[in-house]
């Protein structure tokens, strides 16, 4: 085993440090880096399973032009000539880049420099637009700069943490774990969760405000009024360091004059609102952590400002244990913001519409053609592509055909696009299928660069594997095209040189009037860059890093005063109506990431939730005629998806929830983006992923089934399918609208040709329209298929576990077609603890029989929950369920 390489996890914005040890034959082991300040050695389930995601399956390894594999020179010449022609004929705004928070800062920097400085258009936007652009806009309005004032340690030092619009336990699990431990050590610490859903994060909540979706501005306006009324205003801070309180307060008092009015609007109990307000007013050290539930809204910027207003009036900012805290979704969303990767930013936190900034950046880059007005933001960009106004797009490291709202519109745009270039590490994304030119990109573990996490901490991502095939880093591709276009200033020897230039620009004529400043890193040698330890910006001098900003009360507005923003609460862009009576909310599940191109490779991660689902409150399920476990069509004015119904009371009535991860690669019709409305926040351009009016109807198929097989297959005759990779097998869920004439033939057709040693067990019942078949090859289970006329089918987990065995026992063979274990064996059930593969049935039985009444007791008995801790909220839920069982 080689020496461990220190790098960072490629998933969420927590930015955990990992130590990776290659085994010399393509495999790796991964553990948390105890020296990294973000995680201090912890990892969540996704980080822990990284070793299962580094194979070369599905990789794009060779450039392709118009469907023909070619070499790099030809591919780059093709990109250059097509972009050049379109720019010559239609101007620079006819081309665009759509990039990603998965890129490294160095990739981002050169892409932005090429588009804004040299091509002369600001048409470069990023998928971070979908995630946190409302927080950026809110920061800029309040602070005059896009500054996150806080650090992770503040979460441990706070006496009250307000978590709003974030299922932190699943989406930023290591931050959640840090809070959990802090609360255990200091039980007086209070946690308030504000969320229309009862999520795993509520497990640590002293107070959960399950407010009506979209009413956050009223709740925080009410808090502002209450703080003023209770004398909680920090008068000296407000007078010396802020402006605009009176107007903001007037509006807040008008819309939210009392906890009673707030409670009515938000659908909350008045006493709960009162408790929240009292705790906030009485506690000095308060952190308000906000995320996509605030940002992904047609009034997301206002909601962010409503939160920030409450910290400004109390002066709770810039000091240990306090401040507003926007957590970012992606590993390098912050790096993208730093280089100006959004269509309305310039570079190094400078503004496109500021003539002094234009002049400065233009001079620094020696840019011949600097863009001076904002480009098209993500949703507008793909609408312009469909209209034919933008004719060439280069998509880097993202999958807009799945992830953007109204995703079917995006597909029409990609189809229509005259020249679509996609640089990606995967050959099979939903987007790359439309590409005219495919460029094989290096991925995590192969490329070198930096990322910035949610607390402004810059870390090196380091390579630990040789790049496969012809794959290259994105920065190299961009620079090669820039040089071919005849531009100077793109001749970099490597990412260290790019980073140094990025650092120099941040400090260029910056006398402290711009927040983002890496002057202290401008002269890093390649060796120093390689060794660079994590550090938080600003870094004005070598070795000088800052945990918090605004401690001195100086902000980056013209008069250095922070601005209160008056917030007029607005309803969601479209309200449910008679045709579409429910509101769809979308988000993440615990063990998957984005469109699953990486996590979909991991059997460990797919064991937790193997199929796309729709969470529905029992009252709505009854109205819609839905049963738990059946399939349903969820449709909006923009599109539809077919999902498995999960009836649960964690939803409020009137609201349904679906995860965002499933693409056409993993399911036939589960792209939730195609259902989501494309309405936008007017300031940030961020789409409203949290609120789309929908209707839900039962999906009635003629047959339902599941298939477990060692080989990856193409489901046939199925109008619905989803697939998940599990240990030693692929798991398919199936349904078909037309009943097969011959059930056995239908089943066997799914599985393909039998080998010589295939041995079949089959059961067909024509009266019940059921077919069950199992194929055993050389004593090992090779495939099981079970089809029935309804969706009540045997459990899958015991059958799936048999695929780990080299030889089936006779008793197991005898039970194959029933799908239940023989006496003496257990069906572990759906995986709860991914790290140790512990299933729900095993845990529930142990709770009952061994009286395990704490997650610690379960951990001692079964190991579950003792590694990453991501499943601890589910362990608590299972304990509560067992406790609630009627005694025998």
Q: Which parts of this chain interact with ligand SF4 (CB under 6 A)?
A: 9, 11-12, 14-16, 39, 43-44, 46-47, 172-174
| DSSP H or E stretch at residue 64 | strand 64-65
- Residue 333 CB, shortest distance to ligand SF4, in Å, is 12
Alpha carbon 796 to its chain centroid, in Å, reads 28
Burial state string for 594-626 with b = 16 or more CB within 10 A and e = fewer than 16: bbbbbbbbbbbbbbbbbbbbbbbbeebbeebeb
- Residue 48 CB, shortest distance to ligand SF4, in Å, is 7
In the complex with ligand SF4, which residue's Cβ is closer, 36 or 141? 36
CA dihedral 39, 45, 51, 55 (to 10 degrees): -130
- Residue 601 CB, shortest distance to ligand SF4, in Å, is 15
Assign 615 to helix, strand or coil: strand
In the complex with ligand SF4, which residue's Cβ is closer, 148 or 227? 148
In the complex with ligand SF4, which residue's Cβ is closer, 33 or 125? 33
In the complex with ligand SF4, which residue's Cβ is closer, 633 or 867? 867
- Residue 147 CB, shortest distance to ligand SF4, in Å, is 22
Give all strands (DSSP E) within 753-796, no chain letters.
Answer: 758-765, 770-777, 780-788
Sort 38 into a burial class: Cβ within 10 Å, 0-12 / 13-18 / 19+.
Answer: buried
In the complex with ligand SF4, which residue's Cβ is closer, 37 or 47? 47
> Diameter of the chain by CA atoms?
85
CA-to-CA dists, residue 410 to 385, 450, 639, 871, angstroms = 9, 30, 12, 36
Contact assessment for residue 854 and residue 631, using Cβ atoms and an 8 Å cutoff: no
- Residue 170 CB, shortest distance to ligand SF4, in Å, is 10
- In the numeric block, which tokens belong to residue 490? 């793109």
In the complex with ligand SF4, which residue's Cβ is closer, 152 or 277? 152
- Residue 1 CB, shortest distance to ligand SF4, in Å, is 21
Give CA–CA dist 233/228, Å, rounded. Answer: 6
- Residue 195 CB, shortest distance to ligand SF4, in Å, is 19
In the complex with ligand SF4, which residue's Cβ is closer, 12 or 746? 12
Contact assessment for residue 60 and residue 467, using Cβ atoms and an 8 Å cutoff: no
In the complex with ligand SF4, which residue's Cβ is closer, 174 or 379? 174
Residue nearest to ligand SF4 (CB): 47
- Phi and psi at 763, nearest 5°, equal -145, 120
In the complex with ligand SF4, which residue's Cβ is closer, 33 or 424? 33
- Residue 329 CB, shortest distance to ligand SF4, in Å, is 10
Contact assessment for residue 823 and residue 850, using Cβ atoms and an 8 Å cutoff: no
Give CA–CA dist 103/449, Å, rounded. Answer: 9
User: What is the DSSP code (8-state) at residue 328?
Assistant: P
User: Token match 């490597």: residue?
Assistant: 494
CA-to-CA dists, residue 136 to 236, 333, 340, 517, 684, angstroms = 27, 11, 11, 17, 8
User: Token match 């040698």: residue?
Assistant: 525
Give CA–CA dist 215/338, Å, rounded. Answer: 31
In the complex with ligand SF4, which residue's Cβ is closer, 402 or 605? 605
In the complex with ligand SF4, which residue's Cβ is closer, 70 or 834? 834
- Residue 187 CB, shortest distance to ligand SF4, in Å, is 24
CA dihedral 44, 47, 51, 55 (to 10 degrees): 130
- Residue 32 CB, shortest distance to ligand SF4, in Å, is 7
Q: Hey, how many other C-beta atoms are within 10 angstroms of the C-beta on 765?
A: 12
- Residue 606 CB, shortest distance to ligand SF4, in Å, is 16
- Residue 220 CB, shortest distance to ligand SF4, in Å, is 27
User: Token match 């579409």: residue?
Assistant: 580
Start-to-end Cα distance in the chain: 54
- In the numeric block, which tokens belong to residue 189? 């610490």
In the complex with ligand SF4, which residue's Cβ is closer, 592 or 772? 592
Sign of CA dihedral 313, 317, 323, 328: positive
């Amino acid at each position: 085993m080689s020496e461990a390489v220190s790098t960072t996890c490629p998933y969420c914005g927590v930015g955990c440090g990992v130590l990776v040890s290659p085994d010399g034959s393509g495999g790796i082991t991964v553990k948390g880096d105890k020296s990294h300040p973000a995680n201090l050695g912890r990892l969540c389930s996704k980080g822990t399973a990284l070793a299962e995601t580094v194979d070369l399956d599905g990789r794009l390894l060779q450039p392709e032009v118009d469907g023909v594999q070619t070499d790099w020179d030809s591919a780059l010449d093709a990109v250059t000539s097509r972009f050049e022609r379109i720019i010559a004929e239609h101007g620079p705004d006819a081309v665009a880049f759509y990039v990603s928070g998965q890129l490294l800062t160095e990739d981002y920097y050169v892409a932005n420099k090429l588009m804004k400085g040299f091509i002369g258009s600001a048409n470069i936007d990023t998928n971070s637009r979908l995630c946190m652009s409302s927080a950026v806009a809110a920061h800029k309005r309040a602070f005059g700069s896009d500054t996150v004032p806080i650090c992770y340690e503040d979460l441990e030092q706070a006496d009250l943490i307000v978590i709003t619009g974030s299922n932190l336990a699943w989406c930023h699990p290591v931050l959640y774990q840090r809070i959990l431990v802090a609360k255990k050590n200091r039980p007086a610490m209070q946690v308030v969760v504000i969320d229309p859903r009862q999520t795993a994060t509520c497990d640590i909540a002293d107070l959960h405000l399950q407010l009506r979706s979209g009413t956050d501005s009223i709740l925080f306006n009410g808090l502002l009024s209450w703080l003023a009324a209770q004398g909680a205003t920090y008068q000296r801070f407000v007078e010396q360091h802020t402006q605009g309180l009176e107007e903001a307060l007037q509006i807040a008092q008008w819309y939210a004059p009392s906890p009673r009015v707030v409670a009515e609007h938000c659908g909350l109990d008045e006493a709960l609102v009162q408790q929240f307000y009292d705790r906030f007013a009485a506690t000095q050290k308060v952190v308000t952590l906000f995320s996509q539930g605030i940002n992904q809204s047609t009034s997301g910027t206002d909601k962010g400002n409503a939160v920030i207003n409450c910290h400004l009036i109390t002066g709770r900012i810039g000091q240990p244990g306090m401040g507003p805290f926007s957590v970012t979704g992606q590993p390098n969303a912050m790096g993208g913001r730093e280089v100006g990767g959004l269509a309305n930013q310039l570079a190094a936190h400078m503004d496109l519409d500021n003539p002094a900034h234009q002049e400065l950046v233009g001079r620094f880059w020696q840019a011949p053609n600097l863009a001076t007005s904002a480009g098209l933001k993500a949703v507008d960009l793909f609408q312009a592509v469909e209209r034919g106004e933008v004719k060439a797009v280069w998509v880097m490291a993202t999958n807009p055909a799945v992830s953007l709202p109204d995703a079917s519109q995006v597909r029409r745009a990609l189809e229509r696009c005259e020249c679509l270039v996609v640089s990606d590490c995967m050959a099979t994304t939903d987007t790359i299928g439309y590409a005219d030119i495919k460029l094989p990109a290096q991925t995590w573990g192969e490329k070198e660069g930096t990322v910035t996490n949610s607390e402004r901490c810059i870390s090196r991502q380091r390579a630990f594997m040789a790049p496969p095939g012809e794959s290259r880093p994105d920065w190299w591709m961009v620079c090669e095209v820039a040089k071919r276009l005849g531009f100077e200033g793109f001749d970099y020897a490597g990412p260290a040189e790019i980073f140094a230039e990025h650092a120099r620009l941040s400090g260029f004529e910056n006398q402290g009037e711009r927040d983002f400043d890496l002057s202290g890193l401008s002269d890093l040698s390649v060796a120093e860059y390689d060794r660079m330890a994590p550090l938080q910006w600003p870094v004005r001098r070598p070795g000088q890093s800052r945990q918090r900003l605004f401690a001195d009360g100086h902000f980056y507005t013209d008069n250095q005063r922070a601005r209160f923003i008056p917030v007029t609460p607005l309803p969601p862009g479209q309200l449910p109506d008679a045709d579409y009576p429910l509101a769809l909310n979308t988000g993440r599940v615990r063990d998957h990431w984005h469109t699953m191109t990486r996590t979909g490779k991991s059997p460990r991660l797919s064991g937790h939730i193997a199929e796309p689902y729709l969470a529905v409150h029992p009252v709505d399920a009854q109205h819609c005629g839905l049963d738990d476990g059946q399939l349903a069509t969820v449709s909006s004015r923009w599109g539809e998806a077919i999902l498995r119904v999960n009836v649960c009371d964690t939803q409020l009535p009137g609201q349904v929830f679906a995860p965002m991860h499933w693409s056409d690669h993993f399911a036939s019709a589960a792209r939730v983006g195609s259902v989501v409305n494309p309405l936008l926040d007017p300031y940030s351009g961020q789409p409203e992923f949290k609120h789309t009016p929908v209707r839900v109807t039962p999906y009635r198929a003629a047959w339902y089934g599941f298939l477990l097989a060692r080989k990856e297959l193409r489901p046939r005759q199925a109008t619905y399918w989803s697939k998940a990779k599990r240990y030693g097998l692929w798991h398919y869920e199936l349904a078909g609208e037309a009943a097969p004439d011959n059930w056995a033939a239908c089943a066997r057709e799914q599985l393909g040709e039998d080998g010589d040693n295939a041995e079949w067990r089959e059961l067909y019942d024509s009266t019940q329209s059921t077919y069950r078949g199992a194929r055993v090859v050389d004593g090992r289970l090779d495939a099981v298929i079970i089809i029935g006329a309804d969706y009540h089918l045997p459990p899958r987990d015991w059958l799936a576990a048999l695929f780990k065995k080299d030889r089936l026992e006779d008793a197991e063979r005898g039970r194959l077609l029933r799908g239940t274990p023989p006496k003496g064996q257990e069906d572990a059930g759906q995986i709860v603890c991914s790290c140790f593969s512990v299933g729900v049935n095993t845990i529930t039985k142990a709770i009952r029989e061994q009286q395990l009444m704490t997650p610690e007791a379960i951990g001692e008995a079964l190991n579950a929950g003792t590694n990453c801790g991501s499943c601890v909220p589910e362990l608590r839920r299972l304990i509560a369920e067992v406790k609630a069982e009627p005694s025998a």
